[in-house]
């Protein structure tokens, strides 16, 4: 029998159900429509391209729960809850239909002898998953995962749904054994224990109806509540994943066609950026992955998205109203309001947040758009300002003359070819650190000697080279980036070369992803580790003596996470014969040195208890027997060399650029004493 | 025009500034070489007593008026012009200071007299006066032969020895013939702003550890502080370090800050711009550390090191500590 | 409140300086020019005054080096007008000449306040502002670090710096010339996008000015200090150097 067939007082059950159903659906639809209208406040953006790829993402990230499974303690319970939700979506819909149209006697899952046990087992699995995740949320209390009334309520509702289902089932088995599937493991077991009580046996039918009604009513309540809670991510996440950005993360959005730069008011963000607010499940993985946040700086990707949501929910409605009193609709400034400039300036753009976000939110683009607005207003701190002015005037942030770009090469015993004047196979785009920074010029020379010895046909641009603009762009100075790019492209177009390589992952990222004029030609961009790996593999570079070191390797953000180059440096290390031990946070989980996003040009903000670079060298030093921290990025070298000093770990660990090790192994420099780590000073 | 040298005396808060004596010493030498006399223009209110300190001069023109109590560029300029008419000197010496530079420029324009600033060397021979000025942050020296007419020269303070101008003597004191009513000045003095009370008087510290741009950011100041304390001294800085907020204004050494003469001046990451050098060049021993071998500071230092100050500070601290322990142990 | 700012281009020390064959001047080919730092401060102070009391800021300069970019930057920051003085024949860059040229240009308008940097790195013959004030017969105060316009708009209250961090507060009746040492806040930043936009839309006026008959003081010879001349240079690795320094201090009993 269908519980709604019976009368509840003077009114048939199905009437009441219809009433509640319509109200719940109505509230749900109204709220969702409202949220969609809020999203439409945002700017248009075409995310309807490459539909096949998008469906693939849906499959991998939503149904495959890919990102959640990197942390098993979270991943497994969530998979259970997620699939449990899908299963119950079907089961409960069946129950609802049945309840709304009792006369039609529609078949339900409960009656299906194959499917009913599945639902039954899932109920327990979901409860198990809930137990683990609740334990994590309420007892372990990881950072970034908040204890809100909302979260608690959602957990309770899910638990209640499972329990009422199981109880309803159990009582049905007792009261109406013929009506449903014959065998349901959990329900059946429960029924078995209930049967022992005469009271429960007598009232089994009533209890069945009671728990049936409770289940259905709770579901309808949940339906109405859902779009008002953080559980909205249920609805929004599939869309946020489907409409996620397909372009490489290392390619930022340029200025708008109308010349507008950056965003601060709600209507200046794109609808997809605003969607981040609703898709966010407030899980806190982004915050836990954020190096700046972990060392005490005000930066928090989760807060960023959350505050955007707050801004949208609080002030969006006024903007929806046609009769707007003022042009800005009374929307107070976001920066300086819900979001502080300090939060924006302390981001290193390492991409860890976006990499770990299960709903594929775009923290980076929101952050850069806000930074662009600050730069537009000239609100940048003096040190950063100086770096930007130097970049614009001298083409490097050090404030040194362009003419001194190739001074590093003067002490070489050969003169690198000038790619502006003669054709070369490989163009070496050095990057400003390799050219100007005193600690790094030695590595630059070493690499030049290595390549010369391997008879690689390479050349440089001498004074024609300027900062590639990667960090200027990420600081929000889009105009400066365009200026630098224009000058560089003009120089590159006059130079003659086939391939391009660089030692700096920041340069690598922007030349590869953000210089369309370069890419549309036939000039692939490589990192020097890729070139070295190739040379070693082909025997053009020979290892004279294998190195006896135990090392660990730090994956640079812009090489690894941004551009997927993890293996080439490791292949080089393998060829050198060193023993490589990976740090706990390696590859995609590599922990940023803290220098990206223009941070090397800024002061520290906030109470910093351990800089990211210090945390990282400690991590390296914690590995047993590891003597050397190998880096492949000039900023990493500078940051870690400094961190070794400030942490006092200089005698425990040495930081070396991969070039140094290669130079030693191929016999270009005498090998340092194997026991003591060499001083972190360039040759 | 005579072959005299006229020094415009400078005083502040009731005391003659050191630069006045420096100019007197050199001025006397020049006047003798030219065959003329040394005169001084002394403007102010109730300053006649200062005339007794100006023994190096032969003649002191005094303009003592209430309106001249405080330095007002236009007013002082007008009065000095009267002195110039009376003295018709060959050479007028001023300090290249806040007061001197204003006067130099106003007098040159109003009186149609050639002028020269940033003088670090002054000679007279065979009736010719040669001046060397330093420009471009101390990177270029310009040698000039003065034209044969009254010329104004502003001298960088600390260039010449003050003692040479502090000789005893009895100069003639002459009242400048001023009109009863001085021409109306459109500038009036309101008040003197005192420096904020500071913790340490760096002019009294025997050892100074000075930081400049080369220490890169304010977080490195405590390291320098530690070293200074170990040495029994204090930390001070060049103007950029103060402008960046790394140190309070009371720690500024240079033209707009303090002039110091410690036993040891350790210049870390300081380039040696003339404005700074002016404030410290009389230190007994100057050790300069800078990554740029061409930094002007090496021109004034006794010992120099081309290195990164940030590398050296902890090493110095350690070495000093070690020595102290050795001595104690 | 009409404010004129005089801006000078000076050789950029980052690029290094070379003396030409005659030995009396710098080799112009070796030079790259940049806006004089104190002039940048003068502009900033002028813009601050404009923000507080309203008015116009007009920037004057001479056609030298990358001056146009500096003028566009000034316009992008909020200046209302930029004027380039053009003269026939070779321009000497001494301050007396410049002061005469600017005096001529300023005479074509009417200004309540003229601000300029109090000293530039290439100053040999006095302060541009002081000379200008002398030629125009206007009151002058140099080494100013703060300017406040009184409510009657007829006087300015300025702070003049003295050594030892002292300063004098003076009241100056306008019109007047002020030599700025530092603005009340560091010169503001102009984002490149805005600068490029201004370069497309704004105009720099060019005005003819006659070359004055001013005989500058003739430079006999320019020279450069020898590298490290004066200092006895210490060498070795950092540890060795630290030891040498402490040895020196120890000799003089400066260290225990």
**DSSP secondary structure string for all residues of A445-507:** HHHHHHHHHTT--EEE-GGG----SHHHHHHT-HHHHHHHHHHHHHHHHHS-EEEEEES-HHH
Same domain, A18 and A121: yes
Once rounded to an integer, what is the mean pLDDT over residues C16-28? 89
CATH 3.40.50.620 range(s) for chain C read 2-208
Order across the sheet with C155-162: list the strands: B187-193, C166-173, C155-162, C140-149, C176-180, C113-117, C2-6, C56-62, C81-86, C205-208
Q: Directed axis angle between helix A72-100 and helix A115-134, to 10°? A: 130
- Share above pLDDT 70 across residues of chain A, in percent, rounded to a whole number: 95
How far, CA to CA in Å, does C90 sit from each of A23, C85, C93, C102? Answer: 88, 13, 9, 16
Quote the pLDDT of residue A683: 36
Quote the pLDDT of residue A138: 85
CATH of C2-208, picked from 3.40.50.620, 3.30.420.60, 3.40.50.720, 3.40.50.1240, is: 3.40.50.620
Once rounded to an integer, what is the mean pLDDT over residues A149-159? 89
Task: Look at A378 and C190 and tell me if their CB atoms are within 8 Å.
Answer: yes
User: For chains B and C, what is the number of CB pairs under 8 angstroms?
Assistant: 277
Give the angle A543-A545-A551 at the CA atoms, nearest 5°: 90
Q: Tokens 């040298």, residue?
A: B5
* Measured distance CA(A155)–CA(A148) in Å, rounded: 11
- Of residues C14, C189, C190, nearest to A401 (C-beta): C14
Task: Look at C196 and A479 and tell me if their CB atoms are within 8 Å.
Answer: yes
pLDDT digits (tens, 9 = 90+) for C61-118: 998 878 999 999 999 999 999 999 988 876 677 899 999 999 999 999 999 999 999 9
Task: Look at C189 and A376 and tell me if their CB atoms are within 8 Å.
Answer: no
User: Does the pLDDT value for residue A108 go beyond 80?
Assistant: no
Minimum CA–CA partner of B217 in chain A: A603
How far, CA to CA in Å, does B60 sit from each of A385, B37, B84? Answer: 52, 11, 13
* Measured distance CA(C202)–CA(A506) in Å, rounded: 35
Same domain, A569 and A466: yes
Dihedral angle computed from the Cα positions of residues A674, A677, A680 and A683, in that order, rounded to the nearest 10 degrees: -20
Residue B244 contacts A where some CB pair is shorter than 8 Å = yes
User: Does the pLDDT value for residue A678 go beyond 80?
Assistant: no
Measured between beta carbons, which residues in chain B are less than 8 angstroms from residue C101? none
Measured between beta carbons, which residues in chain C are less than 8 angstroms from residue B138? 225
Higher pLDDT, C238 or A416: A416
Quote the pLDDT of residue C81: 96
* Measured distance CA(A308)–CA(A272) in Å, rounded: 12
Instruction: Band the pLDDT of B138: cuts 50, 70, 90.
Output: confident
Measured between beta carbons, which residues in chain B are less than 8 angstroms from residue C121? 135-137
Task: Look at C228 and B259 and tell me if their CB atoms are within 8 Å.
Answer: no
Backbone angles phi, psi at A502, to 5 degrees: -145, 160
pLDDT digits (tens, 9 = 90+) for A172-209: 888 887 776 777 888 888 887 877 777 777 788 888 88
Same domain, A547 and A514: yes
Quote the pLDDT of residue A290: 94
List the beta strands (DSSP E) in A269-391.
none
Once rounded to an integer, what is the mean pLDDT over residues A625-654? 92
Higher pLDDT, B249 or B75: B75
Residue A256 contacts C where some CB pair is shorter than 8 Å = no
Measured between beta carbons, which residues in chain A are less than 8 angstroms from residue C193? 255, 259, 261, 376, 478-479, 482
Task: Look at B135 and C129 and tell me if their CB atoms are within 8 Å.
Answer: no
Task: Look at B298 and C231 and tell me if their CB atoms are within 8 Å.
Answer: yes
pLDDT digits (tens, 9 = 90+) for A546-579: 999 999 999 999 999 999 999 999 999 999 999 9
Same domain, A59 and A124: yes
Once rounded to an integer, what is the mean pLDDT over residues A362-379? 95
Q: Which chains touch C (3 or more CB pairs under 8 A)?
A: A, B
The secondary structure of A98-142 as a DSSP string is: HHH-GGG----GGG-TTHHHHHHHHHHHHHHHHHHHHIIIIII--
Residue B279, min C-alpha distance to chain A (Å): 26
Q: pTM here?
A: 0.89
In a domain, A173, yes or no: yes
- Of residues C140, C222, C228, nearest to B293 (C-beta): C228
CA C248 to chain CA mean position, Å: 41
Residue B264 contacts C where some CB pair is shorter than 8 Å = yes
Residue to substitute from B107, B109, B287, B310, interface C, most C β-carbons within 10 A: B109
Same domain, A372 and A396: no
Task: Look at B186 and C172 and tell me if their CB atoms are within 8 Å.
Answer: yes
Count of positions (residues) in chain A: 683
Quote the pLDDT of residue A329: 67
Higher pLDDT, A90 or A105: A90
- Closest Cα to residue B115, out of B37, B8, B187, B26? B8
User: Does the pLDDT value for residue A230 go beyond 90?
Assistant: no
| Run of H or E residues at B5 | strand B5-8
Residue to substitute from B217, B246, B294, interface A, most A β-carbons within 10 A: B217
In a domain, A675, yes or no: no
Quote the pLDDT of residue A9: 78
Instruction: Band the pLDDT of A674: cuts 50, 70, 90.
Output: very low
In a domain, A615, yes or no: yes
Task: Look at A604 and B218 and tell me if their CB atoms are within 8 Å.
Answer: no
Residue C243, min C-alpha distance to chain A (Å): 19
Residue to substitute from A401, A473, A678, interface C, most C β-carbons within 10 A: A401
Last residue of a domain, one of A327, A342, A376: A376
The secondary structure of A322-342 as a DSSP string is: SS-SSTTTTPPPSBTTTB-HH
Higher pLDDT, B94 or A144: B94
Q: b/e map of C96-113 (b: 16 or more CB within 10 Å)? A: bbbbbbbbbbbeeeebbb
Same domain, A186 and A210: yes
* Measured distance CA(A188)–CA(A193) in Å, rounded: 9
The answer to whether the CB of A614 falls within 8 A of the CB of A653 is: no
Q: Which chains touch A (3 or more CB pairs under 8 A)?
A: B, C
Residue C154 contacts B where some CB pair is shorter than 8 Å = no
Mean pLDDT over each residue of chain B, to the nearest integer: 91
Task: Look at A438 and B217 and tell me if their CB atoms are within 8 Å.
Answer: no
* Measured distance CA(B109)–CA(C119) in Å, rounded: 16
Quote the pLDDT of residue C228: 55
pLDDT digits (tens, 9 = 90+) for A412-445: 999 999 999 999 999 999 999 999 988 899 999 9
Task: Look at C193 and A255 and tell me if their CB atoms are within 8 Å.
Answer: yes
Quote the pLDDT of residue A231: 84
Residue C58 contacts B where some CB pair is shorter than 8 Å = no
Residue to substitute from C41, C44, C134, interface B, most B β-carbons within 10 A: C134
User: Does the pLDDT value for residue B324 go beyond 60?
Assistant: yes
Residue to substitute from C25, C230, C252, C253, interface B, most B β-carbons within 10 A: C230
Residue to substitute from C36, C144, C255, interface B, most B β-carbons within 10 A: C255
User: Does the pLDDT value for residue A389 go beyond 70?
Assistant: yes
Task: Look at B256 and C242 and tell me if their CB atoms are within 8 Å.
Answer: no
Alpha-helix residue ranges (DSSP H) falling in A176-232: 185-195, 198-202, 204-225
Mean pLDDT over each residue of chain C, to the nearest integer: 91
Same domain, A352 and A438: no
Minimum CA–CA partner of A380 in chain C: C189
Q: Which two tokens stand for residue A9?
A: 């007082």
The secondary structure of A219-281 as a DSSP string is: HHHHHHHGGGSGGGHHHHHHHHHHT---S-TTS-----TTS-----SGGGSBHHHHHHHHH--
Quote the pLDDT of residue A19: 92
- Closest Cα to residue C221, out of B131, B156, B33? B131
* Measured distance CA(A548)–CA(C48) in Å, rounded: 64
| Run of H or E residues at A26 | helix A13-39
Quote the pLDDT of residue A676: 40
Q: Which domain holds residue A577?
A: 385-665
Torsion sign across C-alpha atoms C48, C52, C53, C54: positive
pLDDT digits (tens, 9 = 90+) for A236-252: 999 999 999 999 999 99
Quote the pLDDT of residue A326: 66
Higher pLDDT, B181 or A322: B181
User: Which residues of C have a CB under 8 Å from any CB of A?
Assistant: 14-16, 34, 186, 188-197
Instruction: Band the pLDDT of A679: cuts 50, 70, 90.
Output: very low
The answer to whether the CB of A367 falls within 8 A of the CB of A293 is: no
| Run of H or E residues at B276 | helix B274-280
Same domain, A484 and A627: yes
Residue B2, min C-alpha distance to chain A (Å): 50
- Share above pLDDT 90 across residues of chain B, in percent, rounded to a whole number: 67
Q: Which two tokens stand for residue B11?
A: 């005083």
Quote the pLDDT of residue A671: 56
Least confident of A168-172, A245-249, C227-231: C227-231
Local structure of residue A49 (DSSP, 8 states)? S
Residue C212, min C-alpha distance to chain A (Å): 33
- Please name each of the domains of chain B with its CATH number: 5-175 (3.40.50.620), 202-328 (3.40.50.1220)
* Measured distance CA(C133)–CA(C131) in Å, rounded: 5
Measured between beta carbons, which residues in chain A are less than 8 angstroms from residue B308? 438
Once rounded to an integer, what is the mean pLDDT over residues B285-311? 89
Measured between beta carbons, which residues in chain A are less than 8 angstroms from residue C16? 401
Q: Which chains touch B (3 or more CB pairs under 8 A)?
A: A, C
Once rounded to an integer, what is the mean pLDDT over residues C127-142? 96
User: Which residues of A have a CB under 8 Å from any CB of B?
Assistant: 382-383, 438, 603-604, 645
Mean pLDDT over each residue of chain A, to the nearest integer: 89
Same domain, A286 and A194: no
Query: Chain A, 347-376: which have a CB under 8 Å from a chain C CB?
Result: 375-376
User: Does the pLDDT value for residue B173 go beyond 90?
Assistant: yes
* Measured distance CA(A231)–CA(A370) in Å, rounded: 27
- Of residues A259, A400, A477, nearest to C192 (C-beta): A477
Quote the pLDDT of residue A222: 93
Residue to substitute from C15, C37, C159, C245, interface B, most B β-carbons within 10 A: C245
In a domain, A294, yes or no: yes
* Measured distance CA(A683)–CA(A440) in Å, rounded: 9
Residue A480 contacts C where some CB pair is shorter than 8 Å = yes
Once rounded to an integer, what is the mean pLDDT over residues C164-183? 94
Q: Which residues pair with B211 in a beta bridge?
A: B237, B268
Same domain, A16 and A161: yes
Instruction: Band the pLDDT of A140: cuts 50, 70, 90.
Output: confident
Task: Look at B308 and A383 and tell me if their CB atoms are within 8 Å.
Answer: no
Indicate the number of domains in chain A.
3
Same domain, A112 and A189: yes
Residue A477 contacts C where some CB pair is shorter than 8 Å = yes
In a domain, A678, yes or no: no
The secondary structure of chain C as a DSSP string is: -EEEEE--EEE-GGG---B-TTSSSB-GGG--EEE-HHHHHHHHHHHHHHHHH--EEEEEEES-TTHHHHHHHHHHHT-SEEEEEE-SSPPP--HHHHHHHHHHHHTTS--SEEEEES--TT--SS-HHHHHHHHHT--EEEEEEEEEE-TTSSEEEEEEEEGGGEEEEEEEESSEEEEES--SSPPPP--HHHHHHHHHH---EEEE-PPP---PPPEEEEE-PPTTTTSEEE-S-HHHHHHHHHHHHHHTT---
| Run of H or E residues at B191 | strand B187-193
Measured between beta carbons, which residues in chain C are less than 8 angstroms from residue A375? 189, 191
Same domain, A104 and A198: yes
Quote the pLDDT of residue A310: 94
Task: Look at C194 and A479 and tell me if their CB atoms are within 8 Å.
Answer: yes
In a domain, A672, yes or no: no
Widest CA span in chain C = 69
Quote the pLDDT of residue A3: 80
pLDDT digits (tens, 9 = 90+) for B174-218: 999 888 877 778 999 999 999 877 778 898 899 999 999 888 778
């Amino acid at each position: 029998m269908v519980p709604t067939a019976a009368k509840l007082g003077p009114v048939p059950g199905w009437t009441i159900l219809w009433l509640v159903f319509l109200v719940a659906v109505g509230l749900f639809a109204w709220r969702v429509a409202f949220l969609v209208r809020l999203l439409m406040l945002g700017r248009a953006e075409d995310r309807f391209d490459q539909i096949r790829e998008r469906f693939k993402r849906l499959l991998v990230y939503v149904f495959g729960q890919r990102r959640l499974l990197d942390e098993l303690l979270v991943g497994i319970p969530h998979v259970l809850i997620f699939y449990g939700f899908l299963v119950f979506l079907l089961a409960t819909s069946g129950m609802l239909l049945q309840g709304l149209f009792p006369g039609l006697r529609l078949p339900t899952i409960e009656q299906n002898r194959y499917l009913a046990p599945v639902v039954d087992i899932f109920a327990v699995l979901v409860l198990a998953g809930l137990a683990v995740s609740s334990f994590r949320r309420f007892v372990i209390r990881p950072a970034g995962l908040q204890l809100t009334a909302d979260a608690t309520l959602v957990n309770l509702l899910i638990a209640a749904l499972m329990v009422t289902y199981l109880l309803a089932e159990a009582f049905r088995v007792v009261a109406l054994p013929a009506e449903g599937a014959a065998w349901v493991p959990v329900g059946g077991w429960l029924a078995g224990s209930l049967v022992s009580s005469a009271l429960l046996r007598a009232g089994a039918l009533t209890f069945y109806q009671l728990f049936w009604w409770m289940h259905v009513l709770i579901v309808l309540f949940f339906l109405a509540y859902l779009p008002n809670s953080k559980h909205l991510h249920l609805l929004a996440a599939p869309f946020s994943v489907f409409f996620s950005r397909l372009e490489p993360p290392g390619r930022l959005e340029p200025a708008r066609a109308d010349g507008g730069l950056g965003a601060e008011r709600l209507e200046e963000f794109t609808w997809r950026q605003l969607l981040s607010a609703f898709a966010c499940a407030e899980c806190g993985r982004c915050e836990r992955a954020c190096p700046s946040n972990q060392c005490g700086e005000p930066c928090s990707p989760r807060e960023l998205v959350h505050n955007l949501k707050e801004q949208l929910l609080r002030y969006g409605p006024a903007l929806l109203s046609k009769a707007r009193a003022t042009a800005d609709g009374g929307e107070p400034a976001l920066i300086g309001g819900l979001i502080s400039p300090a939060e924006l300036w302390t981001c290193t753009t390492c991409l860890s947040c976006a990499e770990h976000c299960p709903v594929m939110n775009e923290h980076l683009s929101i952050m850069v758009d806000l930074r662009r607005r600050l730069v537009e207003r000239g609100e940048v701190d003096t040190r950063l300002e100086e770096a930007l002015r130097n970049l614009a005037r001298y083409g490097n942030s050090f404030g040194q003359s362009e003419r001194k770009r190739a001074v590093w090469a003067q002490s070489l015993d050969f003169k690198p070819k000038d790619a502006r004047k003669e054709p070369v196979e490989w163009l070496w785009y050095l990057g400003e650190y390799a050219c100007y920074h005193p600690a790094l010029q030695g590595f630059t020379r070493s690499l030049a000697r290595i390549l010369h010895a391997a008879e690689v046909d390479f050349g440089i641009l001498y004074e024609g080279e300027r900062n590639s603009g990667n960090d200027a762009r990420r600081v929000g100075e889009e105009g400066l980036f365009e200026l630098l790019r224009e000058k560089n492209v003009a120089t590159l177009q006059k130079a003659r070369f086939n391939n391009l390589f660089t030692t700096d992952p920041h340069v690598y990222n922007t030349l590869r992803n953000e210089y369309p004029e370069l890419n549309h030609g036939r000039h692939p961009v490589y990192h020097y580790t890729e070139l070295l790996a190739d040379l070693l593999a082909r025997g053009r570079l020979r290892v004279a003596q294998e190195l006896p070191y135990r090392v660990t390797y730090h994956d640079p953000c812009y090489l690894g996470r941004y551009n997927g180059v993890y293996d080439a440096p490791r292949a080089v290390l393998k060829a050198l014969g060193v023993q490589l031990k990976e740090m706990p946070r390696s590859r995609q989980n590599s922990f940023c040195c803290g220098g990206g996003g223009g941070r090397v040009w800024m002061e520290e903000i906030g109470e910093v208890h351990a800089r990211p670079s210090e945390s990282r060298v400690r991590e390296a030093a914690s590995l047993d027997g590891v003597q050397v921290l190998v880096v492949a990025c000039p900023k990493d070298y500078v940051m870690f060399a400094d961190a070794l000093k400030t942490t006092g770990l200089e005698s425990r660990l040495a930081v070396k650029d991969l070039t140094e090790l290669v130079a030693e192994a191929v016999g270009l420099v005498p090998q340092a004493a194997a026991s003591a780590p060499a001083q972190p000073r360039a040759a | 025009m005579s072959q005299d040298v006229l020094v415009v005396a400078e005083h502040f808060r009731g005391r003659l500034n050191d630069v006045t004596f420096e100019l007197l010493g050199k001025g006397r030498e020049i006047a003798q070489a030219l065959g003329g006399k040394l005169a001084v223009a002394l403007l102010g209110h109730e300053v006649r007593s200062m005339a007794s300190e100006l023994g190096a001069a032969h003649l002191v023109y005094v303009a003592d008026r209430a309106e001249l109590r405080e330095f007002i560029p236009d007013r002082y300029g007008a009065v000095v012009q009267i002195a110039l008419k009376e003295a018709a000197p060959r050479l007028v010496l001023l300090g290249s200071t806040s007061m001197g530079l204003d006067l130099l420029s106003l007098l040159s324009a109003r009186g149609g007299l050639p002028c020269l600033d940033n003088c670090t060397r002054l000679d007279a021979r065979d009736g010719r006066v040669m001046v060397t000025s330093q420009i471009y942050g101390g990177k270029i020296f310009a040698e000039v032969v003065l034209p044969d007419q009254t010329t104004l020269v502003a001298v960088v303070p600390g260039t010449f020895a003050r003692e040479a101008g502090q000789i005893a003597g009895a100069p003639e004191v002459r009242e400048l013939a001023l009109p009863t009513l001085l021409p109306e000045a459109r500038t009036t003095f309101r008040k003197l702003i005192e420096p904020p009370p500071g913790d340490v008087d760096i002019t009294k510290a025997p050892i100074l550890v000075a930081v400049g741009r080369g220490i890169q950011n304010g977080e490195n100041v405590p390291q320098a502080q530690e070293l200074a304390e170990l040495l029994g001294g204090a930390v001070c800085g060049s103007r950029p370090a103060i402008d960046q907020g790394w140190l309070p204004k009371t720690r500024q050494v240079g033209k707009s800050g303090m002039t110091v003469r410690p036993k040891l001046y350790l210049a870390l990451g300081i380039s040696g711009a003339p404005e700074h050098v002016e404030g410290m060049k009389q230190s007994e021993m100057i050790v300069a550390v800078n990554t740029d071998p061409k930094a002007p500071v090496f021109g004034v230092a006794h010992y120099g090191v081309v290195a990164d100050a940030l590398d050296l500070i902890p090493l110095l601290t350690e070495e000093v500590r070690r020595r102290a322990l050795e001595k104690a142990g | 409140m009409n404010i004129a700012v005089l801006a000078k281009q000076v050789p950029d020390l980052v690029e290094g300086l070379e003396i030409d064959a005659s030995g009396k001047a710098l080799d112009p080919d070796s030079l790259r020019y940049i806006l004089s730092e104190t002039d940048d401060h003068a502009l900033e102070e002028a813009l601050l005054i404009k923000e507080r009391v309203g008015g116009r800021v007009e920037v004057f300069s001479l056609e030298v080096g990358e001056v146009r970019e500096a003028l566009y930057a000034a316009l992008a920051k909020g200046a209302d007008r930029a004027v380039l003085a053009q003269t026939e024949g070779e321009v000497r860059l001494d301050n007396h000449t410049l002061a005469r040229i600017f005096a001529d240009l300023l005479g074509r308008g009417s200004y309540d306040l003229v601000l300029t940097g109090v000293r530039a790195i290439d100053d040999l013959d006095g302060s541009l502002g002081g000379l200008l004030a002398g030629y125009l017969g206007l009151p002058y105060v140099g080494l100013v670090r703060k300017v406040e316009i009184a409510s009657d708009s007829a006087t300015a209250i300025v702070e003049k710096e003295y050594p030892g961090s002292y300063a004098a507060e003076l009241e100056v009746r306008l019109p007047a010339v002020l030599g700025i040492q530092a603005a009340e806040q560091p010169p503001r930043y102009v984002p490149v996008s805005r600068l490029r936009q201004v370069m497309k839309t704004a105009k720099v006026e060019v005005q003819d000015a006659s070359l004055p008959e001013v005989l500058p003081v003739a430079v006999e010879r320019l020279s450069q200090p020898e590298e490290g001349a004066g200092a006895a240079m210490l060498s070795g690795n950092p540890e060795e150097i630290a030891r040498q320094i402490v040895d020196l201090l120890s000799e003089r009993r400066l260290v225990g």
